[in-house]
């Protein structure tokens, strides 16, 4: 990117949100969104030595008032009845908010949130696609209110469309939502003509990808569609819905993105943040259901964040 990068202040460390309580969340024996996902990630980071390279961030922010800024009370009441342990759903949001605080105050340069449950399908209808509260959406609004950031870019590379995030900001010109996904897969949303409404028209960018989409296809989508939109939008903070079910050999997807491809996607998003957002990036775990493949993809992603 040719524009002059904004000066970054503060730490150059990469934050890492984790809490043992995330391992308690379960949707039943054999369910793909299981604690094994985080266990595999933690094993991989330890074996690679990255666990000593990142800075731990604890989920310490009371999330309830901020959840209410996105989700109606009816949804919150539904979650209280549907979730195995609703407090862990809240804890995932808390981790995302703590990461936003750490990045926005300069305690760390960027952060990855190894949180469960994921969030990008959550809207106002109760649990959807293993998601209960929309971690990234709540974090975006929190960054605006707590840290006075005007414009937030959310980048979602999950195999499944982030219908909940689209719902949250569909008429909002202060949040640019960019998603690559499989239109033919759950939840069946994310058509290219869904571009926002009212003042938010043009701030919702859906890029459906074909079966077997590989590194070249997804990187071209980011280069051709995300970069020009980001240049025009000039985000103050970049959030990533980091879904690794777009990786090759995932159990619930049929894309073919490699670990090297995720590194390239990360570099591209970081270049946007370096140009406009003082390098502020907060990434949050979404999908990824081949546990060992997920762990390798997260390693590649976190290693790239560390190289900022």
How many C-beta neighbours within 10 Å does residue 301 have? 21
Determine which one of 25, 66, 75, 121 is catalytic: 121
Euclidean distance between CA atoms 142 and 67, whole angstroms: 9
Q: Output the six-digit token pair for 118.
A: 């994921």
Among 165, 101, 87, 153, which Cα is nearest to 129's? 165
Among 129, 56, 67, which Cα is nearest to 92's? 67
| Helices 35-48, 291-306: crossing angle, 10 deg rounding | 50
121 is catalytic: yes
Among 189, 128, 138, 125, which Cα is nearest to 163's? 189
Residue 48: CB partners within 8 Å, gap ≥ 6?
299, 303
Residue 137: CB partners within 8 Å, gap ≥ 6?
70, 119, 120, 122, 154, 164, 165, 168, 169
Residues linked to residue 180 through DSSP beta bridges, in sequence order: 207
Q: What angle do CA 44, 116, 27 make, to 5 degrees?
A: 110
Active site residues: 121
């Amino acid at each position: 990117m040719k524009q002059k990068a904004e000066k970054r202040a503060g730490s150059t460390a990469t934050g890492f949100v984790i809490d043992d309580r995330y391992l308690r969340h379960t949707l039943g024996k054999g369910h793909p969104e299981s604690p094994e996902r985080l266990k595999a990630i933690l094993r991989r980071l330890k074996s690679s030595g990255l666990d000593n390279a990142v800075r731990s961030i604890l989920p310490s922010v009371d999330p309830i008032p901020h959840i209410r800024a996105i989700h109606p009370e009816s949804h919150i009441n539904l979650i209280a009845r549907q979730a195995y342990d609703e407090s862990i759903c809240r804890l995932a949001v808390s981790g995302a908010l703590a990461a936003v605080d750490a990045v926005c105050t300069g305690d760390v340069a960027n952060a990855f949130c190894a949180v469960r449950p994921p969030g990008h399908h959550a809207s106002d209808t109760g649990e959807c696609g293993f998601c209960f509260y929309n971690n990234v959406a709540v974090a975006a609004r929190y960054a605006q209110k707590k840290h006075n950031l005007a414009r937030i870019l959310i980048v979602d590379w999950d195999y499944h469309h982030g219908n909940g995030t689209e719902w949250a900001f569909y008429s909002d010109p202060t949040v640019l939502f960019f998603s690559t996904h499989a239109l033919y897969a759950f939840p069946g949303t994310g058509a290219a003509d869904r571009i926002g409404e009212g003042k938010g028209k043009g701030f919702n960018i859906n890029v459906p990808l074909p079966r077997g989409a590989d590194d070249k296809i997804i990187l071209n989508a980011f280069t051709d569609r995300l970069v020009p939109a980001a240049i025009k939008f000039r985000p103050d903070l970049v959030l990533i819905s980091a879904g690794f079910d777009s990786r090759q050999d995932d159990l619930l997807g049929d894309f073919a993105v490699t670990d090297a491809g995720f590194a390239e996607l990360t570099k591209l998003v970081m270049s946007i943040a370096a140009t406009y957002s003082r390098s502020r990036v907060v990434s949050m775990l979404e999908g990824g259901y081949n546990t060992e493949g997920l762990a390798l993809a997260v390693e590649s992603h976190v290693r790239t964040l560390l190289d900022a």
